Amino acid sequence: MSDTQTVVLVEGLSDKSAVETLAERRGLDLAAEGISLVAMGGATNIRTYAGRFGPSGSNLRLAGLCDAGEEGDYRRGLERAGLVSGSSRNDLEALGFFVCVADLEDELIRTLGTAAVEQVVDAEGELGSFRTLQKQPAWRGGSTHDQLRRFMGSGSGRKIRYSGLLVEALDLDRVPRPLDMLLTHLAGSRSR
């Protein structure tokens, strides 16, 4: 990380894969721009990573992406690192941290629509597995959206694999707001 100027803190590898894929699709070479992505292994690790890379550590610019359920963890961790003192989402966004409504998979499924996501699942040869999940008593009668979210979260490495594939399937004019705002923020940091 010797050439790193900005560290993007994300909860996990699926978020990292999505950001990398969108950056590539938009022609943003993260490494060349001095931007490193760090999958923290969960939102509760934000305090450690903000301390390591923020003002009291390496003094690098920080940005990130989190789920709505972890917004409080992010805010507290960034406050303890001396990076944000306000308690609004706008304060987080001004710093470069963007919040997904439920989670990134939810954002991607809503943006693409369930039919398009099912096409991606089919292209991966897993539509049969998805149909099996839909027949399970706990998921029968539920929304296809919720079933797809559950499907993405089940199976070894599925969430990581599908996050990049779903970003590949996006129309670049219709990117989920948090992901779009993060990439716009990172592209804007080039001139700083």
Q: Give per-residue pLDDT as tens, 127-178.
A: 999 999 999 999 998 999 999 999 998 877 899 999 999 999 999 999 999 9
Angle formed at CA 32 by CA 108 and CA 58, multiple of 5 degrees: 90
Burial class (CB in 10 A: 0-12, 13-18, 19+), 105: buried
Quote the distance between the C-alpha of residue 143 and its chain's center. Answer: 23
Provide the token pair at 136.
């399970």
| The predicted structure's pLDDT at residue 81 | 86
**Residue 186: is its pLDDT beyond 70?**
yes
Give residues with Cβ within 8 angstroms of 190, minimum separation 6: 33
Q: Which residues pair with 9 in a beta bridge?
A: 38, 64
Consecutive H or E run containing 131: helix 127-135
Pairing of strands 97-100, 61-67: parallel
Average pLDDT over every residue of 13-36: 96
| The predicted structure's pLDDT at residue 189 | 67
| The predicted structure's pLDDT at residue 111 | 97
Supply the pTM of this predicted model: 0.92
Give the integer Cα–Cα distance in Å for 83 and 168. 33
Rounded mean pLDDT of the chain?
92
| The predicted structure's pLDDT at residue 192 | 45
Q: Are 6 and 36 in contact (CB under 8 A)?
A: yes
DSSP string, 33-58: TTEEEEE-SSGGGHHHHHHHHSTTTT
Q: Give per-residue pLDDT as tens, 68-110.
A: 999 999 998 998 888 877 678 888 999 999 999 999 999 999 9
Complete edge-to-edge strand list for the sheet that includes strand 61-67: 35-39, 6-10, 61-67, 97-100
